[in-house]
């Protein structure tokens, strides 16, 4: 019964949007969304955390009409870790938005931010009440650095971990 009510609610919402001419009608990716295409593909990654290094893999894609950038990340930190993310640019707030979920938490992290003067994407988010800063920097078209910073035991912001991504070679050449 609950499933039928949920499906009826979704159908009613879709009909209401269609009756108004479609809320997303005419929504097209802007130049901010084009940046997502720079990282599409498969990447090897090295995670530096707690004085140790771990190998990881990532796949990035663009979907939903080019409006969203999807991230899929796997690693072995002494146990399998899996994370998924979705990012977009919101023209209303003029900010990039990211939603992150992973196998170590039941709470999503939502972050927002923009590119700084150095061309790095700097996003701030909250996870379990703790504020974090995430910085993504393209070193070149095949190398990307991601760092997550947050408050240490002394209350000062420090680096939690760093991920160096290296684009996998295209074997179709």
Question: 12-66: per-residue pLDDT in tens?
Answer: 444 544 444 444 566 788 888 988 888 899 999 999 998 999 999 999 999 999 8
Q: Residue 170 — pLDDT band, cuts 50, 70, 90?
A: low
| 12 beta partners | none
Rounded distance between C-alpha atoms, residue 6 and residue 11, angstroms: 9
pLDDT of residue 157: 84
| Domain-embedded: residue 1 | no
- The total of structural domains in the chain comes to 1
Q: Is 57 exposed, middle or buried (0-12, 13-18, 19+ CB in 10 A)?
A: middle
Q: Quick check: 70 pLDDT over 90? A: yes
Q: Quick check: 140 pLDDT over 60? A: yes
Q: Between 123 and 15, where is the model more confident?
A: 123
| Domain-embedded: residue 76 | yes
| Domain-embedded: residue 18 | no
Residue 50 structural domain: 26-167
**pTM listed for this prediction:** 0.79
Q: Quick check: 2 pLDDT over 80? A: no
Q: Quick check: 130 pLDDT over 90? A: no
pLDDT of residue 7: 57
CATH of the domain at 99: 2.40.128.20
Q: Quick check: 103 pLDDT over 60? A: yes
Among 47, 71, 40, 35, which residue's Cα sits nearest to residue 148? 47
DSSP string, 110-142: EEEEEE-TTS-EEEEEEETTEEEEEEEEEEETT
| Domain-embedded: residue 20 | no
Instruction: Compute the Cα dihedral for 76, 82, 68, 118 and give only its sign.
Output: negative
| Domain-embedded: residue 54 | yes
| Domain-embedded: residue 21 | no
Rounded distance between C-alpha atoms, residue 149 and residue 143, angstroms: 20
| Domain-embedded: residue 127 | yes
pLDDT of residue 81: 93
pLDDT of residue 3: 55
Q: Are 145 and 139 in contact (CB under 8 A)?
A: yes
| Domain-embedded: residue 9 | no
pLDDT of residue 5: 46
Q: Where are the alpha helices (DSSP H) in the chain?
A: 2-19, 31-34
């Amino acid at each position: 019964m609950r499933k039928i009510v949920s499906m009826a609610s979704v159908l009613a919402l879709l009909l209401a949007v269609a009756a108004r001419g479609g809320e997303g009608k005419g929504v097209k990716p802007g130049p901010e969304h084009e940046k997502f295409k720079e990282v599409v593909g498969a990447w090897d990654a090295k995670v530096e955390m707690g004085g140790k290094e771990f190998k990881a893999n990532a796949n990035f894609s663009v979907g939903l009409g080019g409006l969203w950038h999807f991230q899929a990340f796997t690693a072995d930190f002494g146990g399998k870790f899996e994370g998924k993310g979705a990012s977009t640019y919101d023209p209303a707030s003029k900010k990039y938005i990211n939603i992150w979920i992973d196998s170590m938490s039941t709470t999503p992290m939502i972050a927002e931010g923009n590119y700084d003067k150095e061309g790095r994407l700097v996003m701030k988010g909250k996870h379990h009440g703790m504020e974090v800063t995430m910085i993504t920097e393209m070193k070149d078209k095949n190398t990307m650095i991601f760092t997550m910073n947050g408050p240490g035991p002394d209350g000062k912001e420090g680096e939690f971990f760093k991920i160096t991504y290296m684009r996998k070679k295209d074997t179709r050449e």
